[in-house]
Amino acid sequence: MSKEEIYICTSGLLIDGGRGIRFPLTAGGEAGTGFVVRHNGQVYAYLNRCAHIPIELDWNEGDFFESSGLYLMCSTHGALYVPNTGYCVGGPCRGGRLRIIAVTEKDQELFWHPDDYLQAARA
């Protein structure tokens, strides 16, 4: 995992099963967003890009969970993703997965870690 860490938000803003927090990044040289959610007490972060077609998942900013709170859902085609793995279990990209973003939680703050594909947003 990259030693570099980029601040996302304070931990208290992320409620279990609630709205996610979006953050800017560069994915493969293009501007994009990542998001972080809390599910069953753990924090998970993903590139905000559906495995079916490269569009953002949330229908309103930060709304990633479907109504039962069990899955992350793409607002466009209804693809369902397991929150702790990003694996697609239903919809047009079944068997695909979201791109995981390494994330850490320390001292009541959340940070993401760039890699070869995901980098800090350009100014």
**In this predicted model, what pLDDT tens digit does every residue of 54-80 receive, in sequence order?**
899 998 999 999 999 999 999 998 999
Q: Does residue 1 surpass a pLDDT of 60?
A: no
The distance of Cα 22 from the centroid of its chain, to the nearest Å, equals 8
- pTM, two decimals, is 0.94
Question: What is the fold, at CATH topology level, of the domain defined by 6-115?
Answer: Rieske Iron-sulfur Protein (2.102.10)
Pairing mode, strands 42-47 and 21-27: unpaired
CB 100 within 8 A of CB 40: no
pLDDT one-digit tens code per residue, 78-106: 999 999 999 999 998 889 999 999 999 99
Question: For residues 48 and 44, what is the distance between their CA atoms, to the nearest angstrom?
Answer: 12
Q: What is the pLDDT of residues 20-57, one digit of tens each?
A: 999 999 999 999 999 999 999 999 999 999 998 889 99
